[in-house]
A = this chain, B = another copy of it.
Amino acid sequence: MFGIEYPIFAFSHCRDVVVAVSRAGGMGVLGALYFTPEELELELKWIDEHVGGKPYGVDVVMPAKYEGADLGDAEELLGKLQGMIPQQHKDFLEELLAEHGVEPSNESAGRALLGWTDQTARPQVEVALRHPIALLANALGPPPADVVALAHEHGVKVAGLASSARHARKQVEVGVDIIVAQGTEAGGHTGEISTMVLIPDVVDEVGEEAIVLAAGGIGRGRQVAAGMALGAEGAWTGSIWLTVDEADTPQQAIPKLLAATSRDTVRSRAWTGKPARFLKTAWTEAWESEKSPGYLPMPMQFMLISDALRRIGRSGDGELVTFPVGQIVGSMNQVKPAAQVVYDLMAEYIEAIERLTTITEAE
Contacts and interface: CB of A to CB of B under 8 A. Distances in A.
Count of this chain's copies in the oligomeric assembly: 2
Nearest to A327: B197
Contacts of A258: none
A327 B6 CA distance: 31
A352 interface: yes
Interface of A: 5-7, 164-166, 183-185, 191-201, 216-218, 220, 222-223, 225-231, 233, 261-263, 326-328, 330-331, 349-350, 352-353, 355-357, 359-360, 363
Nearest to A185: B194
Contacts of A218: 196
Contact of A216 (B194, B229, B326, B328): B194
A5 B363 CA distance: 8
Contacts of A328: 197
B217 A262 contact: no
Nearest to A224: B229
B216 A222 contact: no
Contact of A193 (B6, B222, B233, B327): B327
A196 B331 contact: no
B194 A222 contact: no
B220 A226 contact: no
A200 B360 contact: no
A327 B194 contact: yes
Given A183-B194, A193-B330, A196-B216, 19 more contacts: A165-B261, A166-B261, A185-B193, A194-B194, A194-B195, A194-B196, A196-B196, A196-B217, A197-B326, A197-B331, A199-B222, A201-B330, A223-B230, A226-B226, A226-B227, A228-B229, A228-B355, A350-B360, A357-B357
A229 B231 contact: no
Nearest to A348: B200
Contact of A222 (B165, B185, B231, B327): B231
